[in-house]
Structure 1
């Protein structure tokens, strides 16, 4: 029997490895399987809380009114609906009576998307009622705040 040269032995070894690799790959191609499974996760506990804003023009005087725009920011990961709006007035001067003001809030039942900011959720009017019997000078340059809540 004839001896193989070093080059022939290397060639035969490489060919053998390649044949095993190709044969092994072919074996994987013929394997089959079946299976089943499931997964579970808990949903969010709710729509979360939105931040509501009331925006209106400066310079309100007795007997005048301004439009109020109500907007919402939703920093949660799910959308939520802003329902009935309730608004109230306060001032930074105790002698400037909140009772001299009227504010309305028209509800829009608006869907506020997750992560949204400045979504319009309603509108209204802020009135500064003119008092014929009381001096309203305390309201000059007073800061009037409209607070808004939703159900």
Structure 2
């Protein structure tokens, strides 16, 4: 093996010290690094809106009643709860008075899953009250609609 000259030894020593200094500096910087940060996201605005349906048998006549079934469709991506139901009656014939009808809506905070269709949320009774003072012939073949909403 060949001997290094004095100049080569000094150069090698300086290079070694420089290498250790650079490597040590990088390690020192790594171990003393600090940082901070945060993250946030906005949740959905709410449970969304369900579509409510009232279903009952046709053929109602004065003095009779039929059972009403209430269901809900939830097209949102999160489940929700249908609270108290409220219902009223309308008809498509001016002489067939909505006040001749009574409808009830009974429910108890029914959960409706995300994407569900036809989830039962309540029941009730639709009554066609028999009037003793008015001719109710206008209601023959009339369309009776039960409108339902959730509070």
| TM norm. shorter chain > 0.5 | yes
2: CA distance, partners of 1:80 / 1:43: 15
Deviation at residue 133 of structure 1 after TM alignment: 1.1
Count of residues in Structure 1 that have an aligned counterpart in Structure 2: 117
Greater CA radius of gyration, 1 or 2?
2
Matched residue of 1:99: which SS?
Answer: helix
| Partner deviation per Cα, 1:28-87 (whole Å, 9 max, x = no partner) | xxxxxxxx9875322111000000000000000000000000000000011111001000
Partner of 1:32: none
Partner of 1:62: 62
Matched residue of 2:87: which SS?
Answer: strand
Matched residue of 2:138: which SS?
Answer: helix
Matched residue of 1:106: which SS?
Answer: coil
2: CA distance, partners of 1:74 / 1:108: 17
2: CA distance, partners of 1:123 / 1:67: 7
Structure 1 segments unaligned to the other structure (5+ residues):
1-35
Matched residue of 1:147: which SS?
Answer: strand
TM-score for the superposition, normalised by structure 1: 0.74
TM-score for the superposition, normalised by structure 2: 0.74
1: CA distance, partners of 2:148 / 2:49: 13
1: CA distance, partners of 2:74 / 2:38: 33
Matched residue of 1:138: which SS?
Answer: helix
